[in-house]
Amino acid sequence: MLNYIWAFMILIGVVYGAFTGKMAEVTNAALDSAGDAVSLCITMIGVMALWVGLMEIAQKSGLIAKLTKGIQPFISFLFPGIPKGHPAREYIAANLIANVLGLGWACTPAGLKAMEELAKLEAERGTPGYVSADGKRVASNEMCTFLILNISSLQLIPVNMIAYRSQYGSVNPAGIIAPAIVATFVSTAVAVVYCKMKDGNRRV
């Protein structure tokens, strides 16, 4: 669907440029945007390499393991149905830690592995609600909670936004940190309350 929307917007722009006699401007804008896209990609690759490298160092030094252990009570609060010691808990913790540090690239593999482990857990349980009437798999309660929490994404260091602002000439790229912390804290708090309310309704 998004491909059709973007194609439609591009077509409208080209047609409008042709009818208004501004095809030269349209062409120049397309070329300039292509150059900006390449430049932005190079910048983001550098940022990604830096932070993913720091994440790897933190993992090797045992920092991630300590942080993972430290947030286990929070994991138990949000996911009471996941047994202690289950691999899903470790992947969920790693994903949340990476998100808090603003490392979106580093959290994706852990998130995928967490979903895989949650799917295995539901299959092992043989949960009736895990399979719909037509035989298709549906997301479990834990999967939905994890997804909502992941999307709300509390961030202490919004690395992506800082990189974007720096690339496009912001005077103070790090000025986004305080508003980002407040916004993501509120979104995460709302996500937690919503998930616990839905979880309570489901258990009634």
Question: What is 104-149 written as a DSSP string?
Answer: HHHHHHHHHHHHHHHHHHHHHHT-GGGB-TTS-B---HHHHHHHHH
**How many other β-carbons are positioned within 10 Å of the β-carbon of residue 102?**
25
Q: What is the pLDDT of residues 136-163, one digit of tens each?
A: 667 778 888 888 888 887 788 777 778 7
Angle, alpha carbons 101-97-90 (nearest 5°): 160
Indicate the pLDDT class of residue 201, thresholds 50, 70 and 90: low
Cα–Cα distance between 18 and 153 in angstroms, integer?
Answer: 43
C-beta neighbour count of 108 within 10 angstroms = 14
Report the mean per-residue pLDDT for the chain.
79
| CA separation for the pair 110, 124 (Å, rounded) | 21
Q: What's the token pair of residue 74? A: 């929070």
Q: Find out whether 142 and 81 touch, Cβ atoms under 8 Å.
A: yes
Residue 131 pLDDT? 55
Q: Which pLDDT score is estimated for 75? A: 87
Amino acid at 137: R
Torsion from C-alpha of 44, 46, 50, 52, nearest 10 degrees: 50
Please say whether the beta carbons of 121 and 114 come within 8 A.
no
Q: In this structure, what token pair is assigned to residue 18? A: 């042709």
- Residue 156 carries which DSSP code? S
Taking only the tens place, the pLDDT of each residue in 175-196 is: 888 888 898 889 888 988 888 8
Q: Is the pLDDT of residue 114 over 80?
A: yes
Q: Determine the angle formed by the axes of helices 63-70 and 23-60, rounding to 10 degrees.
A: 90
Instruction: Decide if pLDDT at 198 tops 70.
Output: yes
pLDDT of residue 135: 60
Q: Which residue has the higher pLDDT, 96 or 204?
A: 96
The Cα–Cα gap between 152 and 146 comes to 10
CA angle 77, 78, 82 (to 5 degrees): 90
Helices (H) and strands (E) in the chain, counts: 9, 0
Percentage, residues of the chain above pLDDT 90: 0
pLDDT at site 130: 54
Indicate whether 125 pLDDT > 60.
yes
pLDDT tens per residue, range 54-70? 777 877 888 777 877 88
